[in-house]
């Protein structure tokens, strides 16, 4: 399995042309899945950027939120919006609701 690992991407600071270049580069790596470990954007933009990543990459995206993802919003409000988005987009998996999976016995 090939995975692309993205972290602290702060997409709210990226120009639209830069976003397209970024998405093209991730897609060109042809990962089977994308792992996104927080600081996607600020609260009011998190779901918009998650939806954009989903539309562009069209593969499973496993993610957690970072502290910047809650800036200028409430933790409960952001989590609720993200939960709703994940219900609408099956490729998005918010790992806050997951638990560890044992891969081997040793």
pLDDT (tens, 9 = 90+) of the chain, 106 residues, equals 899 999 999 999 999 999 999 999 999 999 999 999 999 999 999 999 999 999 999 999 999 999 999 999 999 999 999 999 999 999 999 998 777 767 677 6
The full set of domains in the chain, from first to last, is 3-97 (3.60.21.10)
**This prediction's pTM:** 0.89
Element holding 16 (H helix, E strand): helix 16-28
DSSP code for 96: G
CA distances from 92 to 27, 32, 42, 62, 87 (A): 16, 13, 18, 6, 8
């Amino acid at each position: 399995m090939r995975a692309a690992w993205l972290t602290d991407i702060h997409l709210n600071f990226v120009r639209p042309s830069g976003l397209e270049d970024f998405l093209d580069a991730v897609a060109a790596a042809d990962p089977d899945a994308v792992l996104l470990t927080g600081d996607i954007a600020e609260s009011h933009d998190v779901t918009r950027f998650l939806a954009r990543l989903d539309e562009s990459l069209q593969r499973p995206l496993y993610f957690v939120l970072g502290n910047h993802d809650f800036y200028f919003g409430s933790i409960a409000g952001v989590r609720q919006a993200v939960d709703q988005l994940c219900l609408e987009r099956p490729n998005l998996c918010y790992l806050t609701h997951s638990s560890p999976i044992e891969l081997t016995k040793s």
